[in-house]
Amino acid sequence: MNPTQKALVGTLGAAVALSGLVALSPAPAKAADPVEIQIIGTNDFHGRIINEPNSAAAGAAIMSAAVKGLRAENPNTVFAAAGDLIGASTFESFVSNDKPTIDALNEAGLEVSAVGNHELDQGYDDLINRVMAAYDPTTNPDGGAEWEYIASNLKLRATGDPAVPASWVKEMAGVQVGFVGAVTEALPTLVSPTGIASIEVESIVDSVNAEATRLVTDAGADLVVMLVHEGAPSTNCATMTTSGPWADIVNNISPDVDAIISGHTHLAYDCEFPVAAWADRAVKNRPVVSAGQYGEKLNKLVFTVDPDTGDVQAQTHQILNLKTCSNGTGCTTYTPDPAVTPIVQDAIDVATPIGNQVLGPIQGPFNRAKRADGTTENRGGESTLGNLVAEVQRAETPVEQGGAEIAFMNPGGLRAEMEGTLTDGTRNLTYRQAANVQPFANGLVNMDLTGAQIKKVLEQQWSRTADGTQIPSGLTRYFLRLGVSKGFTYTYREVPALAVPVQGGGSVDTWSGTVTGMWLNGEPIDLARTYSVTVNAFLAGGGDSFWELANGKNAAQWGVTDLQAMTHYMSTHTQTGGAALPVDYSQRAVEVHDVARAYRAGGRVTFAVESWSLSNATDVKDSEIEVRLDGALLGRATLDNTVGVAAIDKTGKAAIDVALPSSTPAGTRTLTLVGAQTGTTARVPVQVVDGTAVLSAKIRPGKRIKVDRTRARVKVTVVADDGRPVNGQVKVKATGQPARIVSVVDGKARVRLEPFTSVGDKSVKIVYLGGAGLEAATIVKRIVVVRR
């Protein structure tokens, strides 16, 4: 239209308006163009700010460059995370309280993240008042995260108010994008319960669904993305909907949620699942993704959204590798961000002189337990490293704090091997290496526990809720082997393949165990006596489902961290250029099962042993077990040291089969099992008998008695197989009546039963409980109860 035409139209329009006539309707507005919304996701970064040459961890500068490059291609971008950005960090970040990680992620443009369990390693107050608080060089020099932390399922216990914001919204090109956060429901078992005592952890599904509805209904969100610090147990998309807490999330999250970005399990997956309620939508599947760990990858999700209707017209999602290393020299696909590089270099400059300090020499590597592949950590296995750390904490407990007799260490607190650096024949341990092993700076707590409580703590290695009824919701490791200090040993018996229901339906095969014996410096633990025990603050609060440790008496923390204890221990137990700390390859815990109720003097003793050997390939192992009685060698058993695939402690199996001397006196005798190479020692009490009890019983008035009237009398006779009367006890249990235990004197015992209240066949079970050198024996008598 030329200017003359425009003027004419304008004049005609004005004339129409002045004459009062109805003007022509304007042309309908043109529909807005679709908008491409890009979400970049990360998770479980754990302060991996360094470009690690021999791993896929690309470092903060490369990750920032990738994010900024993607944002330059599409300004409608949000950089989001699924938690665990800090905590359990590498040394360069750890030694500066993760401030370098916070600064690097700020520069990379991180905008929103779910709270992870490691964000709460130092407690809720630290997250709120340091990490999330504004940076201040005087009052908050180590904080200042500029992104929003969200978690809809964290509430303040006292008021029910949100502990952190539940969600966050950003408007881009007319499209409202909402993010709703959540953290694993297993949080109380993963951090010190005392650090989150003010927080209630609610259902992920219920809280996210409620908040997603609010975002759509009240906030007008067109697109809703769930950021959840919980994840799939495997990368197989086909199995994610079957059972467990992850299946509950995948199956039951509201259709208001358009995508799920997850973490926690450190696995990379790029899946999608149909949503029944979306049958009429152009897009019918919901992306469910994770970027693995340590900044190795990013998730890239792109949604094509109609800004007028909010409808998602199309979507794509993929995993981006940040680093391609075929030769181990650190070749990358991105040029490091020059704004982040100095942040990383400053962290290195601060950390290097501190980390290079030599704490002392060690004779060999202290390793964590390993799976069958030889590299994957097995937190269900005993390890030289776990036992060393426990011993350090026992030895470093001051006398005024109780002078600990026993100490325990949780395997999840050990984040690397303690290998040292071999130079000119000496293997030196540096501060950096020790800090990489224990990066949490946990305080140490001394407490009083009875022997019975110690037994309960050990049986909580087979993880259960506080009342012992089920596996804690969301827990992915069902057995955790505690590291144990020197001098304390124990045996146990394990029951396999208990099907335990899990949240979301289905069940898992897990294990349950009973501690059968405990010794301290060779002396049996007295269940009634009180012992001085040291653990880290995480365990002291009941962390990792070790609930009984929270019930310790006189618990006190004296201001020393686990890393400080290790540093001091090394300075007092080694000499630079001289004595090195030896590696203790002995097992503290040995499984003993299939032990018979009694053995005859002169007969054979048979039972099974497992968990005799450490699982790391470089650990010293025994080839056989010596079996001794009162110092005398009874025989040897060959060990099978094959490492199994289960995340439990089974390495080192042997079948014990030795002859018991005929001169062995009757009673409880202790066999000592010894490993010559490792020094492992296990004690197995066995009941030795020199005869068999012969039981007989008579019931009066007879085998037929009347209901509700007759009180039957049971006369029991117990003799040895040579006919001599014996003493001891018998237990008598009649159908529908409580068991009664009565004494046997000169081979005789009498019991009067209660009247039976119903007719029919009844049984009376009589058990001689053993003693007098005789094996226990059982007989069952039958009674017929008739009407009057």
Query: Per-residue pLDDT tens for 522-553?
Result: 999 999 999 999 999 889 988 888 999 999 99
CA pair distance 463, 449, nearest whole angstrom: 20
Most confident option among 206-220, 457-471, 715-729? 206-220
* Average pLDDT estimate for 456-473: 79
Closest-CA residue to 163 (of 124, 135, 114, 131): 124
Backbone phi and psi for residue 756, each to the nearest 5 degrees, phi listed first: -80, 140
State how far the alpha carbon of 450 is from the alpha carbons of 67, 462, 663, 741, in Å: 55, 20, 38, 29
Closest-CA residue to 244 (of 546, 15, 558, 501): 501
What three-state secondary structure class fits 471? coil
pLDDT at 229 (0 to 100): 97
pLDDT at 264 (0 to 100): 93
pLDDT at 190 (0 to 100): 82
* Average pLDDT estimate for 318-338: 76
713: confidence class by pLDDT, cuts 50, 70, 90: very high
CA pair distance 637, 627, nearest whole angstrom: 8
Q: What does R_g of the chain's alpha carbons equal in angstroms?
A: 34
Residue 258 confidence (pLDDT) above 90: yes
- The tokens for 540 are 């002291």
pLDDT at 279 (0 to 100): 94
Per the document, the length of the chain is 788
* Average pLDDT estimate for 69-91: 95
pLDDT digits (tens, 9 = 90+) for 484-515: 999 999 999 987 655 655 444 555 566 789 99
Residue 19 confidence (pLDDT) above 70: no
In 20-148, which ranges are continuous DSSP H helix?
60-73, 91-94, 99-108, 124-126
pLDDT at 11 (0 to 100): 37
Residue 312 confidence (pLDDT) above 90: yes
177 CB contacts (<8 Å, ≥6 apart)? 37, 39, 78, 169, 170, 171, 221, 222, 223, 224, 225
* Average pLDDT estimate for 744-763: 92
Range of lowest pLDDT (408-412, 472-476, 570-574): 472-476
Residue 295 confidence (pLDDT) above 70: yes
pLDDT at 151 (0 to 100): 98
Range of lowest pLDDT (35-49, 195-209, 236-250, 282-296): 236-250
Residue 213 confidence (pLDDT) above 70: yes
- The tokens for 460 are 């909580």
Residue 327 confidence (pLDDT) above 70: no
pLDDT at 475 (0 to 100): 58
Range of lowest pLDDT (82-86, 295-299, 719-723): 719-723
State how far the alpha carbon of 70 is from the alpha carbons of 67, 145, 334, 593, in Å: 5, 22, 11, 59
| DSSP-assigned beta bridge partners for residue 58 | none
Task: Please check whether residue 60 is in contact with residue 343, taking contact to mean a CB–CB distance below 8 angstroms.
Answer: yes
Residue with tokens 């997956």: 269
In 268-401, which ranges are continuous DSSP H helix?
341-355, 384-395
467: confidence class by pLDDT, cuts 50, 70, 90: confident
pLDDT at 29 (0 to 100): 56
Q: Which helix (H) or strand (E) holds 58?
A: none
Range of lowest pLDDT (172-176, 212-216, 420-424): 420-424
Residue 472 confidence (pLDDT) above 70: no
pLDDT at 450 (0 to 100): 98
Q: Which helix (H) or strand (E) holds 250?
A: helix 244-252
772: confidence class by pLDDT, cuts 50, 70, 90: low
405: confidence class by pLDDT, cuts 50, 70, 90: very high
pLDDT at 86 (0 to 100): 96
Sorted by where each starts, the structural domains of the chain and their CATH numbers stand as: 35-346 (3.60.21.10), 358-573 (3.90.780.10), 589-689 (2.60.40.1930), 692-786 (2.60.40.1940)
Q: Model-level pTM?
A: 0.70
The pLDDT > 70 percentage for the chain reads 91
Task: Please check whether residue 758 is in contact with residue 786, taking contact to mean a CB–CB distance below 8 angstroms.
Answer: no
- The tokens for 38 are 């890009």
Residue 201 confidence (pLDDT) above 60: yes
Instruction: Verify cis geometry, omega within 30 degrees of 0, for the bond prior to 245.
Output: no
pLDDT digits (tens, 9 = 90+) for 555-583: 887 768 899 899 999 999 987 666 899 99
3-state helix, strand, coil in the chain (%, to 5): 20, 35, 45
Residue 622 confidence (pLDDT) above 90: yes
Closest-CA residue to 429 (of 306, 563, 229): 563
224 CB contacts (<8 Å, ≥6 apart)? 177, 178, 179, 180, 212, 215, 216, 256, 257, 258
Residue 704 confidence (pLDDT) above 90: no
Range of lowest pLDDT (166-170, 518-522, 560-564, 774-778): 774-778
State how far the alpha carbon of 565 is from the alpha carbons of 21, 501, 536, 580, in Å: 92, 41, 11, 17
CA pair distance 510, 491, nearest whole angstrom: 19
pLDDT at 470 (0 to 100): 64
pLDDT at 328 (0 to 100): 47
pLDDT at 576 (0 to 100): 62
pLDDT at 500 (0 to 100): 54
pLDDT at 469 (0 to 100): 66
The pLDDT > 90 percentage for the chain reads 73
